[in-house]
Structure 1
Amino acid sequence: MVDLLRGGRDELLSTLTSAFRREAWITITATDVMAKLTAATVSEFNHAAGIAGILRRQEAARATATQMASEAFADLDSLIGKAKEVVAVISRYQAAQAGATAEEKQADSGDLSAALLNIGFISPVTKETAGTQYHQQLARQLADFLGAGNRGLLQRVGGMMTLPDIYAIFNRARGTQLISPEDLLTVSRMLSALGLGMRLRTFPSGVAVIQSDAYDDAAVGEQLVALAKENALMATSVAAVLHVSLVLAQEHLATAEQAGLLCRDETLEGLRFYPNLFPQYCT
Protein backbone atom coordinates (compact mmCIF):
# COMPACT_ATOMS: atom_id res chain seq x y z
CA MET A 1 0.00 0.00 0.00
CA VAL A 2 1.17 3.47 -0.84
CA ASP A 3 0.91 6.13 1.85
CA LEU A 4 0.17 9.31 -0.05
CA LEU A 5 0.19 11.35 3.16
CA ARG A 6 3.91 10.72 3.57
CA GLY A 7 4.80 11.30 -0.09
CA GLY A 8 5.18 8.90 -2.98
CA ARG A 9 2.55 10.51 -5.19
CA ASP A 10 4.98 11.24 -8.02
CA GLU A 11 6.36 7.70 -7.96
CA LEU A 12 2.84 6.26 -8.17
CA LEU A 13 1.88 8.51 -11.07
CA SER A 14 5.03 7.58 -12.99
CA THR A 15 4.44 3.84 -12.47
CA LEU A 16 0.80 4.06 -13.59
CA THR A 17 1.67 6.10 -16.68
CA SER A 18 4.35 3.59 -17.71
CA ALA A 19 1.92 0.71 -17.23
CA PHE A 20 -0.75 2.36 -19.39
CA ARG A 21 1.74 3.03 -22.18
CA ARG A 22 2.97 -0.57 -22.17
CA GLU A 23 -0.56 -1.94 -21.92
CA ALA A 24 0.78 -4.16 -19.20
CA TRP A 25 -2.59 -5.92 -18.71
CA ILE A 26 -2.26 -7.54 -22.18
CA THR A 27 -0.17 -10.67 -22.08
CA ILE A 28 1.67 -11.58 -25.33
CA THR A 29 3.47 -14.86 -25.49
CA ALA A 30 6.23 -15.93 -27.85
CA THR A 31 3.77 -18.30 -29.55
CA ASP A 32 1.49 -15.37 -30.44
CA VAL A 33 4.39 -13.41 -31.96
CA MET A 34 5.51 -16.35 -34.10
CA ALA A 35 1.94 -16.95 -35.29
CA LYS A 36 1.60 -13.33 -36.46
CA LEU A 37 4.95 -13.41 -38.29
CA THR A 38 4.07 -16.71 -40.01
CA ALA A 39 0.70 -15.37 -41.15
CA ALA A 40 2.30 -12.22 -42.61
CA THR A 41 4.96 -14.26 -44.42
CA VAL A 42 2.38 -16.64 -45.92
CA SER A 43 0.22 -13.72 -47.05
CA GLU A 44 3.18 -12.02 -48.75
CA PHE A 45 4.24 -15.31 -50.41
CA ASN A 46 0.72 -15.96 -51.69
CA HIS A 47 0.58 -12.45 -53.11
CA ALA A 48 3.80 -12.87 -55.13
CA ALA A 49 3.67 -16.56 -56.04
CA GLY A 50 1.46 -18.70 -58.19
CA ILE A 51 -0.66 -17.68 -61.18
CA ALA A 52 -2.15 -14.73 -59.32
CA GLY A 53 1.32 -13.36 -58.60
CA ILE A 54 2.37 -13.75 -62.25
CA LEU A 55 -0.77 -11.95 -63.41
CA ARG A 56 -0.14 -9.10 -60.97
CA ARG A 57 3.45 -8.68 -62.22
CA GLN A 58 2.32 -8.71 -65.85
CA GLU A 59 -0.36 -6.14 -65.10
CA ALA A 60 2.21 -3.90 -63.39
CA ALA A 61 4.57 -4.25 -66.39
CA ARG A 62 1.76 -3.34 -68.81
CA ALA A 63 0.87 -0.30 -66.75
CA THR A 64 4.51 0.86 -66.75
CA ALA A 65 4.82 0.32 -70.52
CA THR A 66 1.58 2.23 -71.16
CA GLN A 67 2.81 5.16 -69.10
CA MET A 68 6.17 5.22 -70.90
CA ALA A 69 4.47 5.06 -74.32
CA SER A 70 2.16 7.94 -73.41
CA GLU A 71 5.11 10.09 -72.35
CA ALA A 72 7.09 9.16 -75.48
CA PHE A 73 4.25 10.05 -77.83
CA ALA A 74 3.78 13.34 -76.03
CA ASP A 75 7.45 14.16 -76.64
CA LEU A 76 7.14 13.00 -80.27
CA ASP A 77 4.16 15.29 -80.88
CA SER A 78 6.17 18.20 -79.53
CA LEU A 79 9.12 17.30 -81.76
CA ILE A 80 6.89 17.08 -84.85
CA GLY A 81 5.48 20.50 -84.05
CA LYS A 82 8.98 21.97 -83.85
CA ALA A 83 9.96 20.27 -87.11
CA LYS A 84 7.01 21.88 -88.89
CA GLU A 85 8.19 25.27 -87.68
CA VAL A 86 11.69 24.59 -89.04
CA VAL A 87 10.26 23.56 -92.42
CA ALA A 88 8.28 26.80 -92.52
CA VAL A 89 11.41 28.84 -91.81
CA ILE A 90 13.36 27.06 -94.56
CA SER A 91 10.52 27.63 -97.03
CA ARG A 92 10.61 31.35 -96.32
CA TYR A 93 14.38 31.29 -96.69
CA GLN A 94 14.12 29.63 -100.10
CA ALA A 95 11.60 32.22 -101.22
CA ALA A 96 13.96 35.01 -100.17
CA GLN A 97 16.78 33.33 -102.11
CA ALA A 98 14.83 33.55 -105.35
CA GLY A 99 16.13 37.06 -106.05
CA ALA A 100 19.74 36.46 -104.95
CA THR A 101 22.72 36.15 -107.27
CA ALA A 102 24.30 32.79 -108.13
CA GLU A 103 27.35 33.40 -105.89
CA GLU A 104 25.17 34.47 -102.95
CA LYS A 105 22.99 31.40 -103.42
CA GLN A 106 25.99 29.07 -103.42
CA ALA A 107 27.53 30.63 -100.31
CA ASP A 108 24.27 30.72 -98.37
CA SER A 109 23.39 27.20 -99.48
CA GLY A 110 26.65 25.92 -98.00
CA ASP A 111 25.99 27.72 -94.71
CA LEU A 112 22.44 26.38 -94.59
CA SER A 113 23.59 22.82 -95.32
CA ALA A 114 26.17 23.03 -92.53
CA ALA A 115 23.57 24.33 -90.09
CA LEU A 116 21.09 21.59 -91.00
CA LEU A 117 23.80 18.97 -90.64
CA ASN A 118 24.67 20.22 -87.16
CA ILE A 119 21.06 19.94 -85.96
CA GLY A 120 20.58 16.61 -87.76
CA PHE A 121 17.68 17.77 -89.93
CA ILE A 122 16.96 16.47 -93.38
CA SER A 123 13.75 15.79 -95.35
CA PRO A 124 14.27 12.10 -96.05
CA VAL A 125 13.39 10.27 -99.25
CA THR A 126 11.40 7.15 -98.39
CA LYS A 127 10.11 4.15 -100.34
CA GLU A 128 6.55 5.28 -99.67
CA THR A 129 7.07 8.75 -101.17
CA ALA A 130 9.46 7.85 -104.01
CA GLY A 131 8.07 4.50 -105.13
CA THR A 132 10.02 2.92 -107.99
CA GLN A 133 12.34 5.95 -108.11
CA TYR A 134 13.46 5.39 -104.53
CA HIS A 135 17.11 4.53 -105.16
CA GLN A 136 17.57 7.23 -107.79
CA GLN A 137 16.09 9.95 -105.57
CA LEU A 138 18.02 8.64 -102.58
CA ALA A 139 21.25 8.86 -104.61
CA ARG A 140 20.52 12.49 -105.45
CA GLN A 141 19.73 13.26 -101.83
CA LEU A 142 22.94 11.60 -100.70
CA ALA A 143 24.91 13.69 -103.22
CA ASP A 144 23.23 16.86 -101.97
CA PHE A 145 23.99 15.85 -98.41
CA LEU A 146 27.68 15.22 -99.08
CA GLY A 147 27.95 18.24 -101.37
CA ALA A 148 29.98 18.15 -104.56
CA GLY A 149 31.08 21.80 -104.32
CA ASN A 150 34.07 23.33 -102.54
CA ARG A 151 31.97 23.98 -99.42
CA GLY A 152 30.50 20.48 -99.30
CA LEU A 153 31.00 17.97 -96.52
CA LEU A 154 33.01 15.67 -98.77
CA GLN A 155 35.53 18.39 -99.64
CA ARG A 156 35.94 19.40 -96.01
CA VAL A 157 37.21 15.89 -95.19
CA GLY A 158 39.70 15.63 -98.04
CA GLY A 159 37.46 14.61 -100.95
CA MET A 160 36.52 11.11 -99.83
CA MET A 161 34.78 9.35 -96.97
CA THR A 162 34.37 5.69 -96.06
CA LEU A 163 30.94 4.10 -96.45
CA PRO A 164 30.63 3.23 -92.71
CA ASP A 165 31.21 6.89 -91.82
CA ILE A 166 28.69 8.05 -94.41
CA TYR A 167 26.19 5.46 -93.22
CA ALA A 168 26.46 6.79 -89.66
CA ILE A 169 26.15 10.52 -90.34
CA PHE A 170 23.54 10.16 -93.11
CA ASN A 171 21.26 8.04 -90.93
CA ARG A 172 21.78 10.44 -88.03
CA ALA A 173 20.51 13.26 -90.21
CA ARG A 174 17.54 11.19 -91.43
CA GLY A 175 16.27 10.70 -87.89
CA THR A 176 13.88 7.74 -87.71
CA GLN A 177 13.82 7.12 -91.48
CA LEU A 178 16.95 4.96 -91.53
CA ILE A 179 18.33 3.30 -94.65
CA SER A 180 19.92 -0.13 -94.79
CA PRO A 181 23.59 -0.80 -95.67
CA GLU A 182 22.37 -2.47 -98.88
CA ASP A 183 20.49 0.70 -99.90
CA LEU A 184 23.59 2.81 -99.29
CA LEU A 185 25.76 0.50 -101.38
CA THR A 186 23.17 0.49 -104.19
CA VAL A 187 22.88 4.27 -104.41
CA SER A 188 26.65 4.69 -104.10
CA ARG A 189 27.06 2.66 -107.29
CA MET A 190 24.59 4.98 -109.05
CA LEU A 191 26.36 8.26 -108.23
CA SER A 192 28.75 8.24 -111.20
CA ALA A 193 26.10 7.18 -113.75
CA LEU A 194 23.80 10.00 -112.62
CA GLY A 195 26.60 12.56 -112.97
CA LEU A 196 26.38 13.78 -109.38
CA GLY A 197 30.04 14.81 -109.02
CA MET A 198 31.14 11.80 -106.98
CA ARG A 199 31.55 8.05 -107.31
CA LEU A 200 32.10 4.83 -105.41
CA ARG A 201 35.70 3.67 -105.14
CA THR A 202 37.01 0.42 -103.68
CA PHE A 203 40.68 0.16 -102.71
CA PRO A 204 42.66 -3.07 -103.22
CA SER A 205 42.38 -3.68 -99.48
CA GLY A 206 38.58 -3.77 -99.81
CA VAL A 207 37.91 -0.39 -98.17
CA ALA A 208 34.98 1.28 -99.97
CA VAL A 209 34.67 5.07 -100.12
CA ILE A 210 32.67 7.72 -101.88
CA GLN A 211 35.11 9.97 -103.67
CA SER A 212 34.61 13.41 -105.18
CA ASP A 213 35.32 13.73 -108.90
CA ALA A 214 37.62 16.62 -108.01
CA TYR A 215 39.83 14.35 -105.91
CA ASP A 216 43.27 13.71 -107.42
CA ASP A 217 45.54 10.88 -106.25
CA ALA A 218 48.56 12.58 -107.78
CA ALA A 219 47.98 15.82 -105.84
CA VAL A 220 47.61 13.93 -102.57
CA GLY A 221 50.74 11.92 -103.39
CA GLU A 222 52.75 15.08 -103.94
CA GLN A 223 51.49 16.44 -100.63
CA LEU A 224 52.60 13.25 -98.88
CA VAL A 225 56.04 13.42 -100.50
CA ALA A 226 56.46 17.00 -99.27
CA LEU A 227 55.49 15.91 -95.75
CA ALA A 228 57.82 12.90 -95.90
CA LYS A 229 60.78 15.14 -96.76
CA GLU A 230 60.31 16.88 -93.43
CA ASN A 231 59.68 13.83 -91.24
CA ALA A 232 59.05 10.14 -91.74
CA LEU A 233 55.34 9.50 -92.23
CA MET A 234 53.12 7.24 -90.19
CA ALA A 235 49.41 6.67 -90.67
CA THR A 236 48.62 8.56 -87.48
CA SER A 237 50.53 11.68 -88.56
CA VAL A 238 48.93 11.64 -92.03
CA ALA A 239 45.48 11.34 -90.48
CA ALA A 240 46.16 14.37 -88.30
CA VAL A 241 47.57 16.53 -91.11
CA LEU A 242 44.97 15.66 -93.75
CA HIS A 243 42.06 15.54 -91.26
CA VAL A 244 40.98 12.06 -92.38
CA SER A 245 40.33 8.79 -90.59
CA LEU A 246 43.17 6.38 -89.83
CA VAL A 247 41.79 3.94 -92.41
CA LEU A 248 41.92 6.54 -95.18
CA ALA A 249 45.38 7.67 -94.11
CA GLN A 250 46.63 4.10 -94.55
CA GLU A 251 45.01 3.94 -98.00
CA HIS A 252 46.60 7.26 -99.05
CA LEU A 253 50.04 5.98 -98.05
CA ALA A 254 49.51 2.66 -99.85
CA THR A 255 48.36 4.45 -103.01
CA ALA A 256 51.40 6.75 -102.98
CA GLU A 257 53.66 3.74 -102.44
CA GLN A 258 52.11 1.91 -105.39
CA ALA A 259 52.66 5.01 -107.53
CA GLY A 260 56.36 4.91 -106.65
CA LEU A 261 56.30 8.15 -104.68
CA LEU A 262 57.01 6.67 -101.24
CA CYS A 263 58.87 3.66 -99.91
CA ARG A 264 58.26 1.90 -96.63
CA ASP A 265 60.50 1.03 -93.70
CA GLU A 266 59.12 -1.63 -91.38
CA THR A 267 60.84 -1.83 -88.01
CA LEU A 268 60.02 -2.93 -84.49
CA GLU A 269 58.95 0.64 -83.81
CA GLY A 270 56.30 0.54 -86.54
CA LEU A 271 55.74 1.26 -90.24
CA ARG A 272 57.16 4.51 -91.64
CA PHE A 273 57.23 5.97 -95.13
CA TYR A 274 59.98 8.04 -96.76
CA PRO A 275 60.34 9.71 -100.17
CA ASN A 276 61.31 7.17 -102.82
CA LEU A 277 64.82 8.18 -103.95
CA PHE A 278 65.59 5.00 -105.88
CA PRO A 279 64.34 6.21 -109.30
CA GLN A 280 66.86 9.07 -109.42
CA TYR A 281 69.72 6.58 -108.95
CA CYS A 282 68.39 4.16 -111.55
CA THR A 283 68.42 6.64 -114.45
Structure 2
Amino acid sequence: MHPAPSVIIFTTFSGLGFGLLAWLGFGIPDVGGTTLFAFFFIAYALAVGGLLSSTLHLANKKNALYAFSQWRTSWLSREGVAAVVTLLLFGLIALARIFLGAEMTFSGAVGSILALITIFTTSMIYTQLKTISRWNQPLTPVLFMLHAIGGGALLAGEAKIAGVLLAALAVVMWLHWQQGDARAANRGTLGDATGLGHLGEVRMFESGHTGGNYVLDEMVYRVGRKHAQKLRMIALGLGAVLPAAILLLTPAGHVTAFIALALHVVGTLVGRWLFFAEAEHVVGLYYGK
Protein backbone atom coordinates (compact mmCIF):
# COMPACT_ATOMS: atom_id res chain seq x y z
CA MET A 1 0.00 0.00 0.00
CA HIS A 2 0.99 3.61 -0.46
CA PRO A 3 2.67 4.67 2.84
CA ALA A 4 0.87 7.94 3.60
CA PRO A 5 2.94 10.17 5.95
CA SER A 6 -0.16 11.08 7.99
CA VAL A 7 -0.87 7.44 8.85
CA ILE A 8 2.79 6.76 9.67
CA ILE A 9 2.81 9.73 12.08
CA PHE A 10 -0.53 8.65 13.53
CA THR A 11 0.42 5.04 14.27
CA THR A 12 3.83 6.02 15.65
CA PHE A 13 3.08 8.95 17.93
CA SER A 14 -0.44 8.14 19.08
CA GLY A 15 0.86 4.74 20.19
CA LEU A 16 3.62 6.40 22.20
CA GLY A 17 1.12 8.80 23.75
CA PHE A 18 -1.36 6.15 24.80
CA GLY A 19 1.52 3.93 25.93
CA LEU A 20 2.71 6.68 28.27
CA LEU A 21 -0.85 7.23 29.52
CA ALA A 22 -1.06 3.53 30.36
CA TRP A 23 1.99 3.85 32.63
CA LEU A 24 0.76 7.13 34.15
CA GLY A 25 -2.55 5.50 35.04
CA PHE A 26 -0.71 2.93 37.13
CA GLY A 27 1.17 5.71 38.93
CA ILE A 28 4.41 5.35 37.00
CA PRO A 29 6.47 7.46 37.38
CA ASP A 30 5.70 8.33 40.99
CA VAL A 31 5.83 12.13 40.65
CA GLY A 32 3.49 15.03 41.28
CA GLY A 33 2.97 18.73 40.68
CA THR A 34 4.58 20.35 37.66
CA THR A 35 6.59 17.22 36.86
CA LEU A 36 3.43 15.14 36.59
CA PHE A 37 1.85 17.93 34.51
CA ALA A 38 4.79 17.69 32.09
CA PHE A 39 4.33 13.94 31.71
CA PHE A 40 0.60 14.30 31.02
CA PHE A 41 1.29 17.14 28.58
CA ILE A 42 3.73 14.98 26.61
CA ALA A 43 1.28 12.05 26.59
CA TYR A 44 -1.61 14.21 25.36
CA ALA A 45 0.53 16.00 22.78
CA LEU A 46 1.61 12.67 21.29
CA ALA A 47 -1.80 10.97 21.49
CA VAL A 48 -3.93 13.88 20.28
CA GLY A 49 -1.36 15.04 17.73
CA GLY A 50 -1.15 11.55 16.29
CA LEU A 51 -4.92 11.19 16.10
CA LEU A 52 -5.33 14.56 14.38
CA SER A 53 -2.64 13.68 11.83
CA SER A 54 -4.67 10.65 10.78
CA THR A 55 -7.29 13.00 9.27
CA LEU A 56 -4.81 14.76 6.97
CA HIS A 57 -5.20 12.20 4.17
CA LEU A 58 -8.96 12.79 4.02
CA ALA A 59 -10.17 14.92 1.12
CA ASN A 60 -12.99 16.21 3.33
CA LYS A 61 -11.84 16.51 6.95
CA LYS A 62 -15.48 16.60 8.12
CA ASN A 63 -15.78 12.93 7.18
CA ALA A 64 -13.72 12.11 10.28
CA LEU A 65 -16.89 12.60 12.32
CA TYR A 66 -18.45 9.55 10.66
CA ALA A 67 -15.72 7.39 12.21
CA PHE A 68 -17.61 7.47 15.51
CA SER A 69 -20.93 6.18 14.15
CA GLN A 70 -20.00 2.63 13.06
CA TRP A 71 -18.58 1.24 16.29
CA ARG A 72 -20.66 -1.97 16.02
CA THR A 73 -18.83 -3.14 12.90
CA SER A 74 -15.74 -0.96 12.39
CA TRP A 75 -12.46 -1.17 14.29
CA LEU A 76 -11.68 2.33 13.09
CA SER A 77 -14.84 3.60 14.76
CA ARG A 78 -14.09 1.60 17.92
CA GLU A 79 -10.65 3.17 18.04
CA GLY A 80 -12.14 6.66 17.82
CA VAL A 81 -14.62 5.98 20.61
CA ALA A 82 -12.01 4.31 22.83
CA ALA A 83 -9.54 7.16 22.27
CA VAL A 84 -12.06 9.87 23.21
CA VAL A 85 -13.25 8.02 26.32
CA THR A 86 -9.65 7.38 27.40
CA LEU A 87 -8.58 10.98 26.90
CA LEU A 88 -11.61 12.37 28.74
CA LEU A 89 -11.07 10.05 31.71
CA PHE A 90 -7.37 10.85 31.91
CA GLY A 91 -8.20 14.55 31.78
CA LEU A 92 -10.14 14.17 35.03
CA ILE A 93 -7.43 11.95 36.53
CA ALA A 94 -4.72 14.46 35.63
CA LEU A 95 -6.62 17.39 37.16
CA ALA A 96 -7.28 15.49 40.39
CA ARG A 97 -3.71 14.22 40.77
CA ILE A 98 -1.93 17.43 39.80
CA PHE A 99 -4.06 20.08 41.53
CA LEU A 100 -5.72 18.12 44.35
CA GLY A 101 -3.03 15.60 45.15
CA ALA A 102 -5.55 12.75 44.89
CA GLU A 103 -4.26 9.20 44.38
CA MET A 104 -6.91 8.15 41.80
CA THR A 105 -5.66 4.55 42.01
CA PHE A 106 -8.79 2.78 40.77
CA SER A 107 -9.73 5.28 38.08
CA GLY A 108 -6.09 5.39 37.00
CA ALA A 109 -6.04 1.61 36.53
CA VAL A 110 -9.28 1.84 34.53
CA GLY A 111 -7.71 4.56 32.40
CA SER A 112 -4.63 2.42 31.78
CA ILE A 113 -6.78 -0.48 30.63
CA LEU A 114 -8.69 1.85 28.30
CA ALA A 115 -5.40 3.16 26.90
CA LEU A 116 -4.29 -0.40 26.15
CA ILE A 117 -7.67 -1.13 24.57
CA THR A 118 -7.24 1.94 22.36
CA ILE A 119 -3.85 0.69 21.18
CA PHE A 120 -5.37 -2.73 20.50
CA THR A 121 -8.21 -1.23 18.44
CA THR A 122 -5.65 0.65 16.35
CA SER A 123 -3.81 -2.60 15.63
CA MET A 124 -7.05 -4.37 14.71
CA ILE A 125 -7.77 -1.82 11.97
CA TYR A 126 -4.94 -3.52 10.07
CA THR A 127 -5.02 -7.03 11.52
CA GLN A 128 -8.61 -7.73 10.45
CA LEU A 129 -7.93 -6.97 6.77
CA LYS A 130 -7.95 -10.38 5.10
CA THR A 131 -7.11 -8.64 1.81
CA ILE A 132 -3.61 -7.85 3.12
CA SER A 133 -1.97 -11.11 4.12
CA ARG A 134 1.05 -9.55 5.83
CA TRP A 135 -1.18 -7.78 8.35
CA ASN A 136 -3.76 -10.51 8.82
CA GLN A 137 -1.85 -12.45 11.48
CA PRO A 138 -1.89 -12.70 15.32
CA LEU A 139 1.51 -11.01 15.72
CA THR A 140 0.28 -7.65 14.37
CA PRO A 141 -1.52 -6.62 17.62
CA VAL A 142 1.48 -7.83 19.64
CA LEU A 143 3.76 -5.67 17.49
CA PHE A 144 1.62 -2.56 18.08
CA MET A 145 1.28 -3.21 21.81
CA LEU A 146 5.03 -3.69 22.35
CA HIS A 147 5.83 -0.54 20.39
CA ALA A 148 3.39 1.43 22.54
CA ILE A 149 4.13 0.11 26.01
CA GLY A 150 7.87 -0.18 25.34
CA GLY A 151 8.09 3.38 24.08
CA GLY A 152 5.74 4.49 26.85
CA ALA A 153 7.98 2.91 29.49
CA LEU A 154 10.94 4.75 27.99
CA LEU A 155 9.07 8.06 28.16
CA ALA A 156 8.03 7.27 31.73
CA GLY A 157 11.65 6.85 32.78
CA GLU A 158 11.45 3.09 33.38
CA ALA A 159 14.71 2.34 31.61
CA LYS A 160 15.20 -1.32 32.53
CA ILE A 161 11.56 -2.26 31.93
CA ALA A 162 11.69 -0.43 28.60
CA GLY A 163 14.87 -2.32 27.71
CA VAL A 164 13.21 -5.69 28.31
CA LEU A 165 10.11 -4.69 26.34
CA LEU A 166 12.17 -3.39 23.42
CA ALA A 167 14.21 -6.60 23.41
CA ALA A 168 10.93 -8.51 23.15
CA LEU A 169 9.87 -6.10 20.41
CA ALA A 170 12.99 -6.99 18.40
CA VAL A 171 12.01 -10.68 18.46
CA VAL A 172 8.40 -9.94 17.49
CA MET A 173 9.46 -7.63 14.65
CA TRP A 174 11.61 -10.38 13.16
CA LEU A 175 8.88 -13.02 13.56
CA HIS A 176 6.28 -10.67 12.07
CA TRP A 177 8.42 -10.19 8.96
CA GLN A 178 9.01 -13.92 8.61
CA GLN A 179 5.32 -14.74 8.96
CA GLY A 180 4.44 -11.89 6.63
CA ASP A 181 6.82 -13.14 3.93
CA ALA A 182 5.39 -16.64 4.18
CA ARG A 183 1.80 -15.42 3.99
CA ALA A 184 2.53 -13.05 1.09
CA ALA A 185 4.16 -15.85 -0.89
CA ASN A 186 0.94 -17.89 -0.68
CA ARG A 187 -1.60 -15.14 -1.35
CA GLY A 188 -2.60 -16.43 -4.78
CA THR A 189 -2.11 -15.79 -8.50
CA LEU A 190 -3.71 -13.84 -11.32
CA GLY A 191 -5.74 -16.95 -12.05
CA ASP A 192 -7.18 -16.85 -8.54
CA ALA A 193 -7.99 -13.15 -8.85
CA THR A 194 -9.86 -13.55 -12.15
CA GLY A 195 -11.41 -16.95 -11.43
CA LEU A 196 -9.87 -18.35 -14.62
CA GLY A 197 -7.15 -20.45 -13.03
CA HIS A 198 -8.95 -23.69 -13.88
CA LEU A 199 -8.33 -22.98 -17.58
CA GLY A 200 -4.55 -22.92 -17.17
CA GLU A 201 -1.92 -20.28 -16.56
CA VAL A 202 -3.40 -16.79 -16.70
CA ARG A 203 -1.28 -13.77 -17.63
CA MET A 204 -1.99 -10.13 -18.27
CA PHE A 205 -2.42 -9.34 -21.98
CA GLU A 206 -3.15 -5.65 -21.62
CA SER A 207 -4.16 -3.32 -18.81
CA GLY A 208 -7.87 -2.71 -18.39
CA HIS A 209 -7.33 1.06 -18.67
CA THR A 210 -4.96 3.50 -20.34
CA GLY A 211 -4.04 5.55 -17.28
CA GLY A 212 -3.49 5.24 -13.59
CA ASN A 213 -6.31 4.92 -11.09
CA TYR A 214 -6.92 5.17 -7.35
CA VAL A 215 -6.55 1.43 -6.78
CA LEU A 216 -3.10 1.30 -8.37
CA ASP A 217 -1.97 4.52 -6.70
CA GLU A 218 -3.10 3.58 -3.18
CA MET A 219 -3.26 -0.22 -3.02
CA VAL A 220 -0.47 -1.46 -5.31
CA TYR A 221 2.81 -0.03 -4.04
CA ARG A 222 6.02 -1.94 -4.75
CA VAL A 223 9.22 -1.77 -2.71
CA GLY A 224 12.37 -3.54 -3.93
CA ARG A 225 13.34 -6.69 -2.02
CA LYS A 226 16.92 -5.56 -1.35
CA HIS A 227 15.70 -2.11 -0.36
CA ALA A 228 13.16 -3.66 2.01
CA GLN A 229 15.80 -5.86 3.66
CA LYS A 230 18.03 -2.86 4.34
CA LEU A 231 15.12 -0.92 5.81
CA ARG A 232 14.21 -3.91 7.99
CA MET A 233 17.69 -3.94 9.48
CA ILE A 234 17.54 -0.18 10.10
CA ALA A 235 14.11 -0.46 11.73
CA LEU A 236 15.16 -3.43 13.84
CA GLY A 237 18.48 -1.93 14.90
CA LEU A 238 17.33 1.62 15.65
CA GLY A 239 13.83 0.80 16.84
CA ALA A 240 14.56 -2.08 19.17
CA VAL A 241 18.03 -3.68 19.36
CA LEU A 242 20.21 -0.61 19.99
CA PRO A 243 17.80 1.09 22.43
CA ALA A 244 17.40 -2.18 24.36
CA ALA A 245 21.18 -2.64 24.54
CA ILE A 246 21.70 0.93 25.74
CA LEU A 247 19.00 0.66 28.40
CA LEU A 248 20.02 -2.76 29.69
CA LEU A 249 23.81 -2.57 29.46
CA THR A 250 24.56 1.00 30.53
CA PRO A 251 23.84 2.88 33.78
CA ALA A 252 20.45 4.58 33.83
CA GLY A 253 20.60 8.30 33.10
CA HIS A 254 18.86 11.10 31.25
CA VAL A 255 21.42 11.15 28.44
CA THR A 256 21.26 7.42 27.71
CA ALA A 257 17.45 7.47 27.97
CA PHE A 258 17.26 10.37 25.49
CA ILE A 259 19.57 8.62 23.03
CA ALA A 260 17.55 5.39 23.33
CA LEU A 261 14.29 7.30 22.82
CA ALA A 262 15.61 9.16 19.76
CA LEU A 263 16.82 5.90 18.19
CA HIS A 264 13.53 4.18 18.99
CA VAL A 265 11.42 6.92 17.39
CA VAL A 266 13.52 7.01 14.22
CA GLY A 267 13.50 3.22 13.95
CA THR A 268 9.75 3.08 14.54
CA LEU A 269 9.11 5.64 11.79
CA VAL A 270 11.20 3.57 9.36
CA GLY A 271 9.43 0.39 10.45
CA ARG A 272 6.00 1.94 10.04
CA TRP A 273 6.85 3.18 6.55
CA LEU A 274 7.88 -0.36 5.68
CA PHE A 275 4.78 -1.77 7.39
CA PHE A 276 2.61 0.02 4.84
CA ALA A 277 4.96 -0.16 1.84
CA GLU A 278 5.26 -3.96 2.04
CA ALA A 279 1.52 -4.52 2.47
CA GLU A 280 0.54 -6.17 -0.83
CA HIS A 281 -3.20 -5.76 -1.27
CA VAL A 282 -4.86 -8.75 -2.92
CA VAL A 283 -6.31 -6.46 -5.62
CA GLY A 284 -2.78 -6.26 -7.03
CA LEU A 285 -3.21 -9.84 -8.28
CA TYR A 286 -5.86 -8.63 -10.73
CA TYR A 287 -3.25 -6.33 -12.28
CA GLY A 288 -0.64 -9.07 -12.40
CA LYS A 289 1.44 -7.53 -9.60
Normalised to the residue count of structure 2, the TM-score between the two structures is 0.24
> In terms of Rg, which structure is larger?
1
- Asked which structure has the greater RCO (Cα within 8 Å, sep 6+), the reply is 2
